A and B are shown apart, each in its own frame.
Chain A
Amino acid sequence: MNAEKQVTDNSYVRFENVQKSYDGEILVVKDLNLDIGKGEFVTMLGPSGSGKTTCLMMLAGFEPATHGEIFLNNRPINTVPPNKRGIGMVFQNYALFPHMTVAENLAFPLQVRGMNKSEQQDRVKRVLEMVELPQMGGRRPAQLSGGQQQRVAVARALVFEPDLVLMDEPLGALDKQLREQMQYEIKHIHENLGVTIVYVTHDQTEALTMSDRVAVFDDGVIQQLSAPDSLYENPQNSFVAQFIGENNKLNGTVEKVSGELCTVRTEDGSLIEAHKVNVDKAGDKTTLSLRPERVEIDPPKSMKNTIEGTIEELIYLGDHIRVRMSVAGNDDFIVKVRNRADRRPLEEKQKTRIGWASMDCKALDLVA
């Protein structure tokens, strides 16, 4: 984790030991430390209720931090009111003012700043073109489709050229296709304008495809903060491994530790060599995590870890075949087999050997 954390002294946004409680009984955010560099796209990803929105609200200034300090551009902002922070924000339900036209909505932050009329119009026009809605200025938000409203909301957060934009599940209400298109557009805007974006979602695909770094939240704690690829390939704990992507679990006990690797005896007695990530010493209980696409059926003899399994179910998915097996006492062990012309035919109830490279199997903390 330390290797990936780019500790930058000139971090743009910094959360320092931030804690938050609404009711004085439960800590919704527990000791949050987070550095975000200028121009970065950082996503907060996590299940519902994990405290993502709360973090965003503290950064925007709508909720006070119960403890700790938040810095913006190296300036503590705990006492700065939201309207003085200069942070653009896209809300989950867009919060477009229903009694104003799109153009009036977009001009609002400019008016507040006392910009003159003609410049306002210029900017509104430009930003409408940027989100590809040049004709829609005269409409009311209610007369726009969901996707169009979303674009206007993004445009409104950007029109006053803030350096930092917060987005709280901005695509939550859109259908899949529109979502993907908008993901691309937001990413595009980010690249073109160079703004810093803090993005909240609980859709992992969205997080992985858009972000420079992803902070995985659970239970008020950042479980891992990494670039998308290392998040998927090197999960630091079982929660991340299970939350991101598909994952096979095998429980066992560490027998021996040797450098980067360790040997684990699974519950049914097989010995497996795995990458030591979240265990220290022999005798530790562990959950092994294995990505379905890293498992091979009929592995070459040279492969270190092989184990016998029974095929329970075959699901044909076109580009690959999803094989549900029962392996080492786990009957929900998934293997993805690429649909190659030369692949061996598989049948249900067939016994077969499977194998994987030791480094692909992560020894993480135990989950029940």
Chain B
Amino acid sequence: MSDTALPNTNIAQPDRPLVTADGIPLKQKLARTTRTMKLRALLLTLPLVFFVFVAFVIPIGQMLHRAVHNPTVSEVAPNFAEAIQDWDADSGELPSEQIFEIFVQDLVTARQNREVGKTVGNLATRINYEIPGSRSLFTSTARKAGRIEQGPYKEALLEIDEDWGDIHLWRTLQRASNNYTLAFMLAAVDMQYDKDGDIVQANELYRIYIPILLKTIGLSALITFLCFLIAYPVSYLLSTLPLRTSNLLMILVLLPFWTSLLVRTSAWIAMLQTEGIINDIMVFLGVIGDDGRIQMIYNQTGTVISMVHILLPFMILPLYSVMKTIPPSYMRAARSMGATQTYAFFRVYFPQTTPGIAAGTLLVFILAIGYYITPALVGGSDGIFISNLIADHIKKTLNWSLGSALAAILLVVVMTLYWLYNRLVGVDKLKFG
């Protein structure tokens, strides 16, 4: 630029951007000078970004993927999985002879396969999820299929087991041959595909996940509410006491964090069981008879009591940190203007603690809804949470897909509640500490 030497180059003009003394646009120059700084800042966060990605994004992504991913059929019987797609299930006829032939060949190949995830057993388990009792059909057929020397394969199969003539079976096989399926997600919300491939509610006897999910939400809400009821006065006390005393009490509040969760939960078992301390004391005092001992553990009561105890600090800490910042002069001002203690509390003090209440309830609720160990130990069969079912599927039944689907549903529920919460309270108003 020729006019850089002019004294007025730095004055913004509508048709020309601001430039520095050497004629480079100001914005560009600024970006250049701050680039290294930004780069360095970015570099500092890289380990965290990496960690979050590896430890958080990938596992959750995998879980979500697994909930709908359905590779079994296409891995055990790849050729068949492809061929069956051409069959028109609504035609009312069995698949063609050619498809039968491919199926038999795939079965024979699969029988020789010992690789985990690619055996006939895997295929049988997979179809068994949808057609209970169909397992042996696959295993025994696979055993006998090796003897089929030549066509027609359709008849040969029907001879081995006439169930192969069931269109419903083939329809299920066709659906299961897809790489992705909604079957697990449906199962997680107590739904399923019926014989005709329509989505319907599961048999009433098998509807277990939704009731448990609802119970989990309900108990979590109850636990959150109880935590709030107990934590509010405690936090108030902590925030008003002189620092030395309040520090001591704060240590007591935090003490549970220093002992193992397992120990704490076991302590509650010792306290609450029918032969436990509380029952003993009540019998001793004559409040209840020896034969009238109260069942307080291995049911919902046990879960609620011990989880309230365990999650209490998560309510106290945000409440405390908010209350600490409210100077006593507010209450005093209200009192000097004629308000009674109670009126001043509800009009002046309480509203100012809402950010703490909001943060505390959110924290406790979200922790509670995904809680696992405590319900597993003290919940019995009645006080278990959805996480316990997820764990069962991961560890016992080894139906990881259903476990993932349940976890995905839980994730969706939490996100929805969070969204609702955000609409109602406003997350930017939260104050965690």
Contacts and interface: CB of A to CB of B under 8 A. Distances in A.
Interface in B315-358: 327, 329-330, 332-340, 343-344, 347-348, 351-352
Contacts of B338: 83-84, 86, 109, 112-113, 160
Contact of A97 (B335, B336, B348): B348
Given A93-B329, A112-B343, A83 B352 contact: no
Contacts of B339: 83, 108-109, 112
Interface string A309-346: 00000000000000000000000000000000000000
Nearest to A81: B335
Interface string A96-108: 0111000000001
B327 A87 contact: no
Among A92, A98, A112, which residue has the most Cβ atoms of chain B within 10 A? A112
A156 interface: yes
Interface of A: 60-62, 81-89, 91-93, 95, 97-99, 108-109, 112-113, 156-157, 160
Given A83-B340, A112-B343, A91 B352 contact: no
B327 A108 contact: no
Most chain A beta carbons < 10 A, residue from B338, B343, B344: B338
A89 B340 contact: no
Contacts of A83: 335-340, 344
Contact of B351 (A89, A99, A108, A157): A99
A112 B330 contact: no
A23 B64 CA distance: 62
Nearest to B338: A112
B335 A91 contact: no
A60 B336 contact: yes
B348 A82 contact: no
Contact of B332 (A91, A99, A108, A112): A91
A108 B337 CA distance: 8
B327 A82 contact: no
Contacts of A112: 337-339, 343
Nearest to B328: A62
Contact of A89 (B336, B347, B348, B352): B336
B332 A97 contact: no
Most buried by A among B327, B343, B347, B352: B347
Contact of A82 (B330, B336, B351): B336
B347 A82 contact: no
23 contacts: A60-B336, A61-B336, A82-B335, A83-B335, A83-B336, A84-B338, A85-B336, A87-B336, A89-B333, A91-B329, A93-B327, A93-B329, A95-B330, A95-B332, A97-B334, A97-B348, A99-B351, A99-B352, A108-B334, A109-B339, A156-B337, A160-B337, A160-B338
Contacts, number: 62
Contacts of A93: 327, 329
A109 B333 CA distance: 10
A157 B338 CA distance: 11
Nearest to B337: A109
Query: Which of A81, A83, A92, A93 neighbours the largest number of chain B CB atoms within 10 Å of its CB?
Result: A83
In the A-B complex, the 8 residue pairs with the smallest Cβ-Cβ separation, listed nearest first, are A109-B337, A95-B333, A95-B329, A89-B336, A112-B338, A82-B335, A99-B351, A91-B329
Interface residues of B, number: 18
B332 A82 contact: yes
Nearest to B330: A95
A352 to B, nearest CB: 55
A156 B333 CA distance: 10
Contacts of B332: 60, 62, 82, 89, 91, 95
Contacts of A62: 332, 335
A95 B327 contact: yes
A137 to B, nearest CB: 17
A30 to B, nearest CB: 24
B339 to A, nearest CB: 5
A98 B352 contact: yes
Contacts of A157: 336
Interface string B337-381: 111100110011001100000000000000000000000000000
A88 B336 contact: yes
A337 to B, nearest CB: 47
Contacts of B336: 60-61, 82-83, 85, 87-89, 157
Interface in B117-139: none
Contacts of A113: 338
A206 B228 CA distance: 48
Contacts of A98: 352
A77 to B, nearest CB: 13
Contacts of B340: 83
A220 B413 CA distance: 63
Nearest to A90: B333
A99 B75 CA distance: 63
Contacts of A109: 337-339
Contacts of B335: 61-62, 81-83
Interface in B34-55: none
A8 B90 CA distance: 108
Contacts of A89: 332-333, 336
A95 B332 CA distance: 9
Nearest to B339: A112
